[in-house]
């Protein structure tokens, strides 16, 4: 089953943020984030930011800072924002693309 998510992509020539549909399984997460091991970071009571757990060990040219109700956090590598339900299962992201764009600042390394 596919879910709607928002991808923060730093592996393109110019970092960008856009909507994606991804398979709602481990392979789908690995493909969407572009990693071998992912970590989930809670950014609200209803959404997670999935990131490359080994991002600091890789040679990324761009990173981003994400500001949430929990403060700002610097991230190396891509991020994918998904929603989750009361059972902890991933579901469609409920934030708008504009809301996420307001909370992301890219930086060059």
Which residue's structure tokens are 């990173």? 63
For residue 49, list its beta bridge partners: 41, 81
pLDDT for residue 7: 98
For 56, the domain range is 2-108
Mean pLDDT score of the chain, rounded to an integer? 94
pLDDT tens-place string over residues 31-43: 999 999 999 999 9
In the chain, the number of structural domains is 1
The reported pLDDT for the residue numbered 70 is: 78
């Amino acid at each position: 089953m596919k879910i709607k998510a928002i991808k923060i992509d730093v592996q393109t020539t110019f970092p960008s943020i856009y909507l994606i549909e991804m398979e709602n399984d481990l392979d789908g997460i690995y493909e969407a984030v572009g990693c071998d091991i992912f970590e989930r970071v809670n950014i609200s009571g209803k959404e997670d930011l999935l990131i490359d757990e080994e991002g600091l060990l890789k040679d990324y040219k761009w990173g981003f800072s994400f500001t949430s109700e929990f403060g700002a956090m610097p991230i190396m590598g891509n991020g994918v924002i998904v929603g989750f339900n009361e059972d902890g299962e991933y579901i469609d992201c409920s934030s708008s693309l504009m809301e996420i764009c307001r909370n992301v600042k890219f930086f060059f390394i």
